[in-house]
Amino acid sequence: MTNPAVVGFSGNFTRPSKTRGFVDHIVTEIAGRYGLAASTHDVVDLGPSLGNAKWAGDLDGQARGILERIVAADVLVVGSPTYKGSYTGLFKHFFDLVDPAALRGKPVLLAATGGGERHALIVEHQLRPLFGFFEAFALPTAVYASDKDFVDGVLASEAIRTRVGLAVDDVGSALFGRQRARIAAE
C-alpha cells in the first residue's frame, strides 16, 4: 500500500505565481498535519502537449503522469487565478481531459486568487460546480485570497491563514470519514 497523498494543481501559466504558491502552502499544511506525501503542479508543468490534446491519451508522458497523480490522490487541492471572473482556460481544458468518474468522492479543497475582493465568489460559482460535475467531494470551506493578502508573492494575511486552517480541518474530517467507511465495508 502506498503512502496516502495530497496533490495540488494550480491553473496558473506563469512563474513565479501567487496562485501556485498559495496552493502549495495549503498542500504543505495538509501534508504536515496528516502525514501525507505531497506534490504540487501547475499548467506550466503540463508542457506543450496540453494545448493540442483532445483526449488524455494525447498528453505527453509528463502531463499524463500529473493527471495520473491527480486521479490517484487521496486529497486534491485545486486553485486558479481569477481571469475574467472564472478559472483559466487551460485549467478547464486540463480537467476536460479527466474521465468524468475518476474524481468521484475524492475530497477536493477549492482555492482561488484574484486582484480584489469582487472575485471571491469564483470558488462558489465556478470551481464548486466544476467539481460537482465530477461528483467529487468539494470540501465545505473554500479559500480565496486577493493581492492584498500577499507580500512578495507569499501569503501574509492572518485571516486567510486562519481560513486555510479551517479548510485543513475539513480535510481531516473527510480523510478519516472515508477511512471509517472503508473499514465498515470490510
Q: List pLDDT tens digits, range 47-79.
A: 999 999 999 999 999 999 999 999 999 999 999
Neighbour-count burial for 4-31, b at 16+ CB within 10 Å, e otherwise: bbbbbbbbbbeeebbbbbbbbbbbebbb
**Which tens digit of pLDDT belongs to each residue from 108-137?**
999 999 988 888 889 999 999 999 999 999
Q: What is the pTM of this model?
A: 0.93
What's the structural domain count of the chain? 1
CATH of the domain at 101: 3.40.50.360
Which pLDDT belongs to residue 1? 42
- Residues forming a β-bridge with 19: none
Supply the mean pLDDT for the chain.
93
DSSP strand pairing (107-114 vs 75-81): parallel
Percent of the chain exceeding pLDDT 70 equals: 94
Question: What range defines the domain where residue 180 resides?
Answer: 5-185
Whether 179 has a pLDDT exceeding 80, the answer reads no
Bridge partner list, 138: 108
Question: Quick one: which H or E segment has residue 112?
Answer: strand 107-114
pLDDT range class, residue 7, cuts 50, 70, 90? very high
